[in-house]
Structure 1
């Protein structure tokens, strides 16, 4: 379905999200760091994305997270950072649902966290963000693919639970 450089797993994950979005008639937005825009690219390549995808923010540098997405100043590979990214993005983009992620893609550790550490948050207005913590194995590209699938799945689950 989606011509993704990351592979067929992402295709399967996005198909579920598209079905959830269509059933709910909602809009979604993204905020990402370690995936460097690949999550937004997966959304943008999906069928009829212009009708439901509000956009994405790639906040790679910590200062962008602090200043644009109003995350806590300090380490950025934290659940608090992911939650703030998701909430700020929903407000800025006017999206019904958002997913945000921050982490360490590798190959080495960062901020005392091992490679493959990911914090992911999903958000919809009127609820607290749902935060998930993952430890993925593999090379940086493999960590990125697993992270994107986790983000797509988490967002689809949130939408499905609310429809």
Structure 2
């Protein structure tokens, strides 16, 4: 009983200290525009120069960090929207086609049911068919803020290959 009372008092003091020391951030301080997030008067969509190289002719882009979804390095006009019945990405990126197409094959994790710990036997898992959920085309733009992040890959091929399925449970016991 005494322990519960002391714990409750400590928790109350901790929460009060957090509330006192927390600095509120206004909408004007969030984001790159430095104006209220609710102000949409001056919002304009910039004309973005997307990678225009067709599939098979583009330069492959390194991953941003270990097991990051790679960027789509080619033009995707005419390939979207992706539906369960029509997915143009699979015509080149499924393992049985990738080598001949010169494409990056989907990793083993896309052919595996992670929830039920079951190999799908080379079939793309139902939760992985909308490729653009994770993979996005690379835009040719200047970054609004400098980025000095340098990825540290554990595997020498980590910038071009995924080993997610092999390391998914690293550190979990």
Using structure 1 for the length normalisation, give the TM-score.
0.24
Structure having the larger proportion of residues in strand: 1
Relative to its length, the structure with more helix (as a share) is 1
User: If the length of structure 2 is used for normalisation, what is the TM-score?
Assistant: 0.23
